[in-house]
Structure 1
Amino acid sequence: MITPILLCGGSGTRLWPLSRKSYPKQFVPLVGETTLFQASAQRLTGEGFAAPMVLTNSDFRFIVTEQMAEVGIDPGAILIEPSGRNTAPAVLAAALWLQARDPDGLMLVAPSDHVVPDAAAFRAAVAAAEPAARAGQLVTFGIKPDRAETGYGYLELDGDPGDFTPQVIGLERFVEKPDLATAEGMLASGQFLWNAGIFLFSVKAIIAAFETHAPDLMAPVQGAVDKGQPDLGFLRLDPEAWDGASDISIDYAVMERADNLAVVPYAGGWSDLGGWDAVWRESGPDGDGIVTQGRASAIDCADSLLRSEDDGLEVVGIGLKNIITVAMPDAVLVADASRAQDVKQAVSALKAKSARQAEAFPKDHRPWGWFESLVVGERFQVKRIHVHPGAALSLQSHHHRSEHWIVVEGTAKVTVDDKVQLVSENQSVYIPLGAVHRMENPGKVPMVLIEVQTGSYLGEDDIIRYEDMYARGQGAKG
C-alpha cells in the first residue's frame, strides 16, 4: 500500500494577491473548479493508495478537513507542524509516524499546490516506480521540459528517457536553478528533466537515508512525533522538540547526498504554478493569448491575464499586451508578464509598510465558516459572517466592544448570558459589552448574518473563550 504524503504549509507569495500567508494558493481554485489541494488529494486516491496523510500548520488544519470533505475524501493522519521547517523535517515526521503503523509500506511525497492535468498518466508513472522503491531506491519524478525554464531545479539522467514511457532511470545529479544559457543547453541535450519535488520510497529506506545523511534531524523529529498531542482529529507535533530541527529541504538534507537514487521521467503535463505566468499558460489562452476569469473583459488585448475575484468588481483591459491584472476586493495587481516572478517583491513592500493586504486574506476562514469586513471605521466595524450548517462559534466575551447581529440568511441559535433564542431572517439581537455569548447554526443550510461592532478596540484578539467545539484555546484564532 502507498500512503500519499501531502505537504501543504507554503504561502505562495508569487501568486499574490490571490495567494496570501493566511490563505495560500493550494486552497484556492486557480485552475478549474477545485482547489489545488483538492485536486492533489483526488489524484492520489483510489486502488493501491491508503488514505492520504497531510502535514500542515495549525491555521490550516480545519481548511484541510473541510476541503477534503467537499470532494468526498476521508483523510488519514493530519500532522500539525508547530512552525515551518521546510520539507526534510516534514517528510521525516511522516516516515516516523508510519514506521509505527506500516513499517513495510511506501510513501509518496507530493506538494499539494501542483497542477497535473493527466491523473491517470501520473498514476502510471507511480506504478512504474513502485518496484524500485520496494527494492530500497529513493525514486523522484522528473518532468519533461518544454522550455528553457530558469525557475526550476533540474535532474540530470544517466540514461536515455526515450519516448518517455514510464521507466526507472538512474539519476546522475541534482542541478540548481540555472541561468538562461545553461537552461537552454540542458533543454537541447535531452538529458535533463525538471525537478518536481515528488518522491516515492519505502518507509525503511527514507529513515535509513536520514540516519546516514542527516542524523542531526533524527532526535528532534522523533521527539516531536513521540511527544505529539492528539487534538480532535489531528496530531500536534511537540513544539519544543520540533524547534530543535534544522530548517532544510529534503533535497539538501538527503537526496543530493544519497547513492540509491532513481528517476521516472514524466511527460503527462505538470506545473507548480509558481507565478501568474504559469496560471496564464495552464488556463488555456485563446487565439490572442487572452485569459479572463470572473467579471473580466479584454478589448484589443494580447497575451494577457485578467482576473476579477469579486462578483461586484468588473475588470476591463483595453489595448493591453503582456499584462497580468488580478483584482481582489482589497488589492489589485497590475504587472508586466515578464516580471511575474517578481510579484513576491510586492509582498515584501507591503509588509514593510505594515499593510494588512501583505498576508491577510479578505475572507478570514475559521473552522465554523468565514467572515469578511465590509466597512471599518475608527470605532465601528461591519462584518458579513457565514456559518456552516451544524457549526458554532465559541462561547466568548469581549472587553472592548459590543455587537449587533442581523440574520440575513438561515436561522441562528444565539446565547447571550443565560438567555438562548432562535433568531430568523430579518431579526436581530444585541450583545452588550462583556456579555458571554455564542452563535450557532442549527439548520441544514448556511447561516449568514451582518455583525455591527462598536467599541474602543475592534481587534480579533479581543476575545475570551470559555467553550469551543474546535479546541482552539485563546487568541485570535486559537
Structure 2
Amino acid sequence: MKVVFMSGGTGSRLWPLSRSSVPKQFIPLFQDEAGNMEAILARNARLMLQKFSPDDVLVSSMAEHEEQISSCLPWGPRIIVEPERRDTFPSICLSSLYLLDELKLPEDELVCFCPADLYIEEDFVDLLAAMPQRLDWCQVNIALLGIEPTEPSGKYGYIVPQLETAHPAGPVYGISQFVEKPALDRASELISEGALWNSGVFMFRLSFMKQYVQSKGDPASYPACLASYSSLPAISFDYEVLEKTPDIVVVPFHGRWTDIGSLDRLVDTMGHPHFESKVYRRDTEAVTAMNLTDVPVVCIGVSNLMIVATDHGILVTSREACDDIKLLLAEQPEITEDPKP
C-alpha cells in the first residue's frame, strides 16, 4: 500500500503561526522523544516509516513547498506537485493518475490518502498498516478510518455507521450517513448513536479512481489531468466522491488522534506551549500566550485569551472565537501579506 500525505493546505486558522508561504505542517511545533522540535509532517512521516518503506510514503503539495518538504523529510520522498491550490478532489485525482502513469503501479494497488497535519500515535499507524487485509476481505470501493469521539464537537465531520461486519482483526461497518460539522446538541445525539469523527483518512484501489474520473468524463491520464487541472471542480473528495459512492466502509479507531485545525486544538495537543519566552503575566486566568518574537508580551488582569505573537502578525482572541480568524482573513486578505522590508 502507498501512503500519500496531502500537504496542500495553508492552515489559515493557525495564523499568524501558519501562513501561505510556511503552512502549519512545516513549522517545528512538537517535541520528539529526544526533546528536539519537529514539524507535524516530519513527525507523522517518522511514525509511518515504522510500518512502511520510504518508497511507499509520498507527499502531494505545491511546487513552492518542495524545499520545505525536503527539509522535513530528509530521505527525499517523491513529491506529486499540484499546479495550483484547489481542493482535495482534484488533488487526489492527480495523485492517483500519477501513481498509475508515472510510477506504473498496477490498478489493483491500494493507496491511502492522509492529511499531513493530523496528530497521530503509533497505534494509528498500526491500524493503517493492517487495513489492506480488511479491504481484501470486504471487497468495497473505499474504506475510511473513523475516530471514536472524546466529546461533542462541532469542529469535525461525523460518520454514522451501520451494519457491523465481524473481521478477525476487528469490526468493519457500513455507513448510514455523513454529517458535516453539526451543532453541539446534534453532535451529542450523533455520538449517542455511535457516530465517529471523520479522520479525513481513506483508502481505495487505483482502479476505483480511474473508473470514477472516466465515468465523469474528466481526464483519465496523468498528463491530461495535469494540463487541465485548473478546470477540474474545486471541491472536496468527501462531497464529490464519498457521499455519492456505494460500498463504503468505516473502521473505528479508539486511540489518540487530533486534527491540528485550529489554535485551541494545537494548544491542547502540545500541552504547555513551547514558545513562551518573554511572556509576562500578572493577575491572569486561562491565558495562553505564544511569543515567537524578540519583544516582550505582557498580560495584566485578563482572562480566557489566546495570544500569538510573531514577526508576521499578532493575534488576540478568546478560545471560543479562535476559529473565526479564517473568516476574518477571507474578508481582509491583506492581513496575510508578508511585511515589506
Q: TM-score, normalised by structure 2?
A: 0.87
In the alignment, which residue of structure 2 is the partner of 1:195? 198
| Separation of aligned partners in 2, 1:89 and 1:271 | 25
In the alignment, which residue of structure 2 is the partner of 1:249? 236
Asked if 2 retains the 8 angstrom alpha-carbon contact of 1:5 and 1:52, the reply is yes
Asked if 1 retains the 8 angstrom alpha-carbon contact of 2:143 and 2:251, the reply is yes
In the alignment, which residue of structure 2 is the partner of 1:301? 284
In the alignment, which residue of structure 1 is the partner of 2:89? 88
Match of 2:210 among 187, 207, 210: 207
In the alignment, which residue of structure 2 is the partner of 1:272? 259
Q: CA deviation at 1:113?
A: 1.2
Decide whether aligned partners of structure 1 residues 323 and 308 sit closer, same or farther in structure 2, where only a CA change above 3 A counts. same
In the alignment, which residue of structure 1 is the partner of 2:34? none
Give the counterpart letter for 2:197 in structure 1: W
Q: CA deviation at 1:127?
A: 3.3
Q: CA deviation at 1:247?
A: 0.9
Asked if 1 retains the 8 angstrom alpha-carbon contact of 2:164 and 2:171, the reply is no
Alignment of 1:314-393 (within 5 A): 314-351=296-333, 354-355=334-335, 358-360=336-338, 376=341
Decide whether aligned partners of structure 1 residues 167 and 129 sit closer, same or farther in structure 2, where only a CA change above 3 A counts. farther
Q: Deviations over 1:403-436 (max 9, x none)?
A: xxxxxxxxxxxxxxxxxxxxxxxxxxxxxxxxxx
In the alignment, which residue of structure 2 is the partner of 1:172? 176
SS in structure 2 at match of 1:123: helix
Q: Tell me, which stretches of 5 or more residues in structure 2 are unaligned?
A: 32-36
Q: CA deviation at 1:226?
A: 2.0
In the alignment, which residue of structure 2 is the partner of 1:68? 73
Q: CA deviation at 1:300?
A: 4.1
Tell me which structure has the larger Cα radius of gyration.
Answer: 1
| Separation of aligned partners in 1, 2:302 and 2:132 | 48
Q: CA deviation at 1:75?
A: 0.4
Give the counterpart letter for 2:196 in structure 1: L
Q: CA deviation at 1:54?
A: 1.5
Decide whether aligned partners of structure 1 residues 336 and 11 sit closer, same or farther in structure 2, where only a CA change above 3 A counts. same
| Separation of aligned partners in 2, 1:129 and 1:299 | 52
Asked if 2 retains the 8 angstrom alpha-carbon contact of 1:150 and 1:179, the reply is yes
SS in structure 2 at match of 1:322: strand
In the alignment, which residue of structure 2 is the partner of 1:418? none
Q: CA deviation at 1:216?
A: 3.6
* Deviates further, 37-46 or 261-270: 37-46
| Separation of aligned partners in 1, 2:63 and 2:303 | 41
In the alignment, which residue of structure 2 is the partner of 1:35? 39
Asked if 1 retains the 8 angstrom alpha-carbon contact of 2:160 and 2:196, the reply is yes
1:126 is aligned to 2:108: no
| Separation of aligned partners in 2, 1:74 and 1:46 | 17
Give the counterpart letter for 2:21 in structure 1: S
Decide whether aligned partners of structure 1 residues 261 and 279 sit closer, same or farther in structure 2, where only a CA change above 3 A counts. same
Q: CA deviation at 1:60?
A: 0.9
SS in structure 2 at match of 1:97: helix
Decide whether aligned partners of structure 1 residues 297 and 85 sit closer, same or farther in structure 2, where only a CA change above 3 A counts. same
Give the counterpart letter for 2:223 in structure 1: D
Q: CA deviation at 1:64?
A: 1.2
In the alignment, which residue of structure 2 is the partner of 1:226? 223
Q: Deviations over 1:168-215 (max 9, x none)?
A: 2222221122112211211233x1011111012222233334444xx1
Give the counterpart letter for 1:129 in structure 2: M
In the alignment, which residue of structure 2 is the partner of 1:146? 150
SS in structure 2 at match of 1:338: coil
Structure scoring higher RCO (CA < 8 A, sep ≥ 6) equals 2
| Separation of aligned partners in 2, 1:317 and 1:160 | 52
Q: CA deviation at 1:136?
A: 4.2
Decide whether aligned partners of structure 1 residues 47 and 186 sit closer, same or farther in structure 2, where only a CA change above 3 A counts. closer
| Separation of aligned partners in 1, 2:91 and 2:292 | 33
Decide whether aligned partners of structure 1 residues 359 and 272 sit closer, same or farther in structure 2, where only a CA change above 3 A counts. farther
Q: CA deviation at 1:333?
A: 0.8
Q: Deviations over 1:272-314 (max 9, x none)?
A: 11211111211225xxxxx46231344443333210112x223
Asked if 1 retains the 8 angstrom alpha-carbon contact of 2:165 and 2:172, the reply is no
Asked if 2 retains the 8 angstrom alpha-carbon contact of 1:122 and 1:268, the reply is yes
Decide whether aligned partners of structure 1 residues 166 and 328 sit closer, same or farther in structure 2, where only a CA change above 3 A counts. farther
SS in structure 1 at match of 2:38: coil
Aligned residues: 327
| Separation of aligned partners in 2, 1:348 and 1:206 | 32
Asked if 2 retains the 8 angstrom alpha-carbon contact of 1:31 and 1:282, the reply is no
| Separation of aligned partners in 1, 2:155 and 2:52 | 33
Q: Deviations over 1:101-123 (max 9, x none)?
A: 2213211101111111x2x2112
| Separation of aligned partners in 2, 1:20 and 1:197 | 22
Asked if 2 retains the 8 angstrom alpha-carbon contact of 1:298 and 1:306, the reply is no
1:109 is aligned to 2:113: yes
Higher helix share: 2
SS in structure 1 at match of 2:29: coil
Asked if 2 retains the 8 angstrom alpha-carbon contact of 1:129 and 1:167, the reply is no
Give the counterpart letter for 2:88 in structure 1: T
Decide whether aligned partners of structure 1 residues 21 and 48 sit closer, same or farther in structure 2, where only a CA change above 3 A counts. closer
| Separation of aligned partners in 2, 1:182 and 1:160 | 23
| Separation of aligned partners in 1, 2:50 and 2:109 | 16
Asked if 1 retains the 8 angstrom alpha-carbon contact of 2:164 and 2:172, the reply is no
| Separation of aligned partners in 1, 2:285 and 2:170 | 37
| Separation of aligned partners in 2, 1:173 and 1:304 | 39
- The percent identity for this pair of structures is 26
Q: TM-score, normalised by structure 1?
A: 0.64
